[in-house]
Structure 1
Amino acid sequence: MSADFPNITILGGGLLGGSLAMALEESGQPVRLWARREETAQAARETGISGATSHLAEAVRAVDLLVLAVPVGSMPALVSQALEAGLPAGCLVTDVGSVKRAPHQEIPPLLAGRDINFIGSHPMAGSEQNGLAAASADLFQNAACLLTNDEVAPPEKAAALERFWQGVGCRTTWMSAAAHDELVARISHLPHVVAAGAALVCLQNPADGRFGGGGLRDTTRVAGGNAGMWAEILTENRQALLDPLRETIASLSEILAHLESGDQQAARQWLAAAKQQRDTLNTIC
């Protein structure tokens, strides 16, 4: 059991919420998992998450750490509902959202004067699959977890949250919400857009896919993610995403020009520069 957070509740029974609950259960940490639908809570109990419930008041009772594992756009309303259901003073609220500026703007005002702090969390773990059926207790092993404390919650709470994520296998790093959104726009959100664009072009005739090799599947894999969820993420982070997207279009225009002119040397240099950048992943990951 966590000495920092004896009572942990996760709101949201999807891929990340379910995986986090499984990881905690596997470590011997009691956890409550709340799902909006009773059938989801029942499915969670059947997977071994004994504290799964669809009753919000039961989920937030005496909680020390509340983890928001719902879409970013749903978080403020859910926090308000949790407060009405009895979210206690002294607890810490965090999230697992892919965007951080919006939660930091919208959640702390709801908690003002209640002795409840908010610190953002973004475990860089996931899958093109979604829902509780895709959840895994190992999802967070060796994943980066980006932490944001823009409202400067007490250092002891920040340290406790960092230990929490390290306890489920994450590598933690602190940054501002703005820096977070700029970073993930390039390393997470832009790759999803590029994969989606490749899927649209490469598979204009879906039957052609049966001839594709591993490169086609690797390049387009994340495009198989939930379209509604990703539309929300990209729109929420559009301020940070637009410049990298324009840079990508400009870079593709370069190789287009090289090929139109038949300049093999320039094309080789473009590809070699890309290989050099890609090879750095092998030394840091």
Structure 2
Amino acid sequence: MKKIAVLGSGLLGGSMALAGQKRLPDTEVYLWGRRQASVDEAASMGIQHATTSLTEAVKGADLLILSTPVGAMLQILETVSRDVSLKGMIITDVGSVKLTPRETLDALVRRCEAKYIGSHPMAGSEQTGVLAARESLFDGAACVMTNDFGHDEADVDALKDFWLVLGCRCYLTSSEDHDAVMARISHLPHLLASVGAMVGLKDPDYGKFAGNGMRDTTRVASGHPGMWAEIMLRNRESLKAPIEESIEHLREMLALLEQSSEEAVTSFLQQAKDLRDQLPPKKEQ
């Protein structure tokens, strides 16, 4: 690829630009930001091609990456398509849900004769903004890709190669399966972290006694509330069943506590421990 356009100058977009320009020295990597202030911040981070001009960022690109809220993707793509040909361009996104972008962008992408292949790199943090970006963000992260429209294997491989260069482990699945899995391993944990913060810190003064347990289990609750509200609402159908299961497990624990059965409570906690201990080692930064 000779040119990559990253649209969205937040944590993910900035990290893609930093990693891309370092690890793909023969490729121009452009970062578009809506606000001049964020573009100036990107430049201060060492991002070479940061701009507020969609035309400048996208014209001649082989790969266009939408790194914006899902609800803004269609408008941005419509705007740039008026001035720049997207014909033959691979278009992907980094949204935490995949059904919504697929359904929202389909008609426009087809009309522009572009190729949409979804992406979801499982990287990020509770920090936001381009000043939090880092070149190593994607090292060791899983990246789930979707090719629901059956584009050529060469196009899928080209996108996969980009993520591999950034340090990701790539997996291919459908948008439906992606959203169902993310509801359990990403969206529900964020919701439970938020509940933990609300219950545990019902009196904020309790926080002075908090140790690593409270901080670790509620860390992601510090994420951007507006962004996470959008994610949960757009994936609400997949999220309902895991929420119901969580409620059932809490009811089960209440019953076990009423029974004062140490053996049963231990068994409950042991089952959770066994599942948690099977997680792959955390990626090193």
TM-score (norm 1): 0.96
Pick from 18, 25, 39 the counterpart of residue 22 of structure 1: 18
Q: How well do the aligned residues superpose, as a CA RMSD in angstroms?
A: 1.3
CA contact 1:60–1:85 (8 Å) conserved in 2: no
Contact 1:142/1:171, CA 8 A, preserved across alignment: yes
Q: 1:10 aligned to 6, 11, 25, which one? A: 6
1:161-207 Cα distance to aligned partner (Å, 9 max, x none): 01110010000000000000001100000000000000000011112
- CA deviation string 1:203-234 (max 9, x = no partner): 11112112111111000000000000000000
- Do 1:6 and 1:64's aligned partners in 2 also have CA atoms closer than 8 Å? yes
Is this contact kept in 2: 1:143–1:171, CA < 8 A?
yes
Instruction: Please state whether the residue corresponding to 1:89 is helix, strand or coil.
Output: coil
Q: After the TM superposition, which of the residue ranges 78-87 and 101-110 deviates more from structure 2?
A: 78-87
Q: Compare 69-78 and 84-93 and name the one that shifted more.
A: 84-93
Rounded to whole Å, the distance in 2 between the matches of 1:149 and 1:143 is 20
Q: Secondary structure at the match of 1:281?
A: coil
Q: Map of 1:178-217 to 2, 5 A cutoff?
A: 178-217=176-215
Distance 1:282 1:59, change over 3 A: closer
Deviation digits for residues 77-100 of structure 1 (CA, Å, limit 9, x no counterpart): 111112113143111100000000
Stretches of structure 1 that go unaligned for 5 or more consecutive residues are none
User: Which AA in structure 2 matches 1:279?
Assistant: D
Show the 5 A alignment for 1:161-180: 161-180=159-178
Q: Is the 8 A contact 2:45 2:131 kept in 1?
A: no
Q: Which residue of 2 aligns with 1:66?
A: 64
SS state at 1:130 partner: coil
Which 10-residue stretch deviates more, 208-217 or 230-239?
208-217
Counterparts of 1:134-145 in structure 2 under 5 Å?
134-145=132-143
> Which moved further from structure 2: 251-260 or 116-125?
251-260
Structure 1 residue 140, shift from structure 2 partner: 0.1
Shift of 1:265: 1.7
Q: Among 93, 96, 116, which residue is 1:95 paired with?
A: 93
CA distance in 1, matches of 2:163, 2:176: 21
Indicate whether 1:32 and 2:24 are aligned: no
- Partner of residue 237 from structure 2, selected from 236, 239, 243: 239
Structure 1 stretches of at least 4 aligned residues deviating more than 4 Å after TM superposition: 282-285
| Residue aligning to 1:148 | 146
CA distance in 1, matches of 2:282, 2:38: 38
Query: What are the Cα deviations for residues 127-154 of structure 1, in whole angstroms up to 9, with x where unaligned?
Result: 0111111111100000000000001112
Amino acid at match of 1:76: L
| 3-state SS of 1:52 partner | strand
Equivalent residue of 2:171, what SS? Answer: strand
Are 1:145 and 1:165, in contact at CA under 8 Å, matched by a contact in 2? yes
State the Cα deviation string for residues 231-263 of structure 1 (Å, max 9, x = none): 000000001010011001100110111112222
Contact 1:24 1:168 (8 Å CA) reproduced? yes
Post-superposition Cα deviations, 1:26-52, rounded to whole Å, max 9, x if no partner, equal 222421000001111111112111100
Whole-Å separation in 1 of the counterparts to 2:280 and 2:48? 40
Moved more, 62-71 or 83-92: 83-92
TM-score, with length taken from structure 2: 0.96
Deviates more, 1:266-275 or 1:170-179: 266-275
Query: Secondary structure at 1:139's aligned position in 2?
Result: coil
Whole-Å Cα distance in 2 between the matches of residues 104 and 282 of structure 1?
30
C-alpha distance in structure 2 between counterparts of 1:11 and 1:75, whole Å: 9
Number of matched pairs: 281
